[in-house]
Amino acid sequence: MGKRPKKRYVAILIVLVVLLAGGYLFYRTSNPKGSNNKYRMMKVERGEISFSVTATGTINPVITVLVGSQVSGRIKALYADFNSQVKEGQTIAQIDPAIFEAQVDQARANVLNAQAAVVNAQANLVNSQANVVKAEVAVADTKKTLDRNIPLAEKKVVAQAALDTAQASYDSAVAQKDAAKAQLEVARAQVESAKAQVDREKAGLRMADTNLKYTTIISPVNGTVISRNVDVGQTVAASLQAPTLFTIAKDLTEMQVDTNVSEADVGRVEVGEDANFTVDAYPERTFRGRVSEVRNAPINVQNVVTYDVVILVDNKDLKLKPGMTANVSILVAHRAGVLRISNAALRFRPTGVQEGGAQKTSQETEPSGGRLSVAGVTVALKLTAEQQSKVETILKTSREEIQEIRQKSKPQEVGTKIQSLMRQKLWPLLTEDQKKGFEEKVQSSQGDRGIRGTVWTLSPDGKLIPLSVVLGITDGTFSEVISGDLKEGMEVIVEAQAKKASQGPPSPFGRGVRK
């Protein structure tokens, strides 16, 4: 009985020794030189990076036809409903035609009346022509009588009164002839007016007949009815504008996504680029399409300018429906097997630390992301002492804005945004020659391929070391490294660890820390 307790104590002692040794080894391996207590590191590795432009949009049919009514009236019958498949020329609605049929009958009667007026005018024309002939005969007869009486009056055979009577008769006949000719012209004009009235009444008949035909609403295309806006018995009024009765999608097997791309990103989007999107109805499925059009018309909503980028997508399974909201990602660039680093490493900036044993001064600070400094600006732009003092003040007061740009902007946009900020702040201080020099410096920095950045690592003795890199595209999490001091497998700092309340190796029993 005495040996068993001894064996039990020995076993417990061995277990304690093993746990203490394991805890000590864990502490030693997880805290070399205490560096991981201060910074979290991440290795530089190779992988894929896809740079995409994100936007939201609405799914619409490629061709949508709004079917309206050109006449007003009461809906008598409907022959199509929501989701109905219709053919071109098919009757889909009927407006009560009674009033329009009466208008056709009235217009037809007006045509007959006008045609009768033409016949009457033509008869008047024939009568006027006869009157002209009669007047010409009378003129000829009175002319003969006058010609006989003139020589007789000269020989005193007839009295002068007879000659005067013959002359008066002749003049009266000539006047009647002129009046008959004028009446003939009036009759001819009446005939032409009556014919014109016939044409007018025929046009009225065609209009009435056309309005009657408009009471039958037909489908202009083959497609699917996606919207019906009227019911039987409802009165439509087309006096101001044609009311929309139906909305017909020509082909639902091909859809398009109309996306609103911001003006900052639209320059990267080109026709033919691949695009992926999701909709709330199928969150687990990713739909694929291709950019078919980048429209130039700006869309300005509350001073925010966007552009419509049209993405064509196949919809043979009819899963996508008009009006769905799409979360779109347009693939602008893709890199495979490239060296990449975490964007957190690019955002990390040490504060109040020694870099290689020396602390940076305000003169060495590079606030612009494009290597602008007080000394650099002074040399490049040949600033005066007064200008140099003002520039130094501007750079100091702009640090918070610059830091905010670095934290919230994509790495490839940092340099451009900070240069724009510096241009805005420095412009009032510079002369025209200095402004030209500033633009040349900006253009030369933009001419380099990629965007410059800085990451930090630790030396073997635990000191911070800055490493310059040139960056390519980014996917929001990782950025491509085009060139620089980084190598595959190196560790860079992504963030500073929060200080613990007390230090000591962890207890092998998992409770508390050693004080």
pLDDT tens, residue order, the chain (515 aa): 455 556 666 667 776 766 776 665 555 544 444 444 688 888 889 999 888 888 999 999 999 999 999 999 999 999 999 999 999 999 999 999 999 999 999 999 999 999 999 999 999 999 999 989 988 898 898 888 888 888 887 877 778 888 888 889 888 889 998 998 899 899 999 999 999 999 999 999 999 999 999 999 999 999 999 999 999 999 998 877 778 999 999 999 999 999 999 888 888 899 999 999 999 999 999 999 999 999 999 999 888 899 999 999 999 999 999 999 999 999 988 888 889 888 888 888 887 554 443 334 333 333 334 444 555 565 567 778 788 788 888 877 887 787 777 666 665 566 667 777 777 787 788 888 777 777 666 555 544 456 778 888 888 888 888 888 888 888 878 888 888 878 888 888 888 876 544 444 444 443 443 43
In a domain, 158, yes or no: yes
Residues 115 and 87 in one domain: no
Buried-state track 38-71, b at ≥16 Cβ within 10 A, e below 16: ebeebebeeeebbbbbebebebbbbeeeebebeb
At residue 96, the pLDDT reads 95
Q: Which residues contact 229 (CB under 8 A, 6 or more apart)?
A: 243, 244, 245, 246, 247
In a domain, 203, yes or no: yes
Residues 220 and 206 in one domain: no
Residues 490 and 368 in one domain: yes
At residue 410, the pLDDT reads 61
Which CATH number covers residue 68?
A: 2.40.50.100
Cα–Cα distances in angstroms (integers) from residue 433 to residues 371, 395, 429, in the given order: 21, 21, 12
User: Do the Cβ atoms of 176 and 135 come closer than 8 Å?
Assistant: yes
Give the domain-ending residue among 190, 214, 238. 214
Cα–Cα distances in angstroms (integers) from residue 90 to residues 69, 76, 79, 84, in the given order: 15, 16, 9, 12
Residues 222 and 104 in one domain: no
**What are the phi and psi torsion angles at 139 (to 5°)?**
-65, -45
Residues 473 and 404 in one domain: yes
Q: How many helices (H) and strands (E) does the chain have?
A: 9, 19
Residues 375 and 475 in one domain: yes
Residues 220 and 192 in one domain: no
Q: And the tokens for 30?
A: 């997880």
User: Do the Cβ atoms of 474 and 345 come closer than 8 Å?
Assistant: no
**What are the phi and psi torsion angles at 180 (to 5°)?**
-65, -40
Determine the Cα–Cα distance for residues 422 and 396; give it in Å rounded to an integer.
Answer: 12
Residues 180 and 241 in one domain: no
Give the domain-ending residue among 214, 238, 255. 214
In a domain, 116, yes or no: yes
In a domain, 374, yes or no: yes
What Rg do the C-alpha atoms of the chain give, in angstroms? 49
Residues 130 and 180 in one domain: yes
Q: Number of structural domains, the chain? A: 3
Residues 181 and 76 in one domain: no
In a domain, 84, yes or no: yes
At residue 389, the pLDDT reads 80
In a domain, 461, yes or no: yes
Range(s) of the domain holding residue 434: 343-496
In a domain, 312, yes or no: no
At residue 515, the pLDDT reads 36
pLDDT in tens, 221-263: 999 999 999 999 999 988 777 789 999 999 999 999 999 998 8
In the DSSP assignment, the letter for residue 99 is: H
In a domain, 463, yes or no: yes
Q: What is the pTM of this model?
A: 0.58
At residue 359, the pLDDT reads 38
Residues 135 and 86 in one domain: no
Residues 191 and 229 in one domain: no
In a 3-state reduction of DSSP, which class is residue 479?
strand
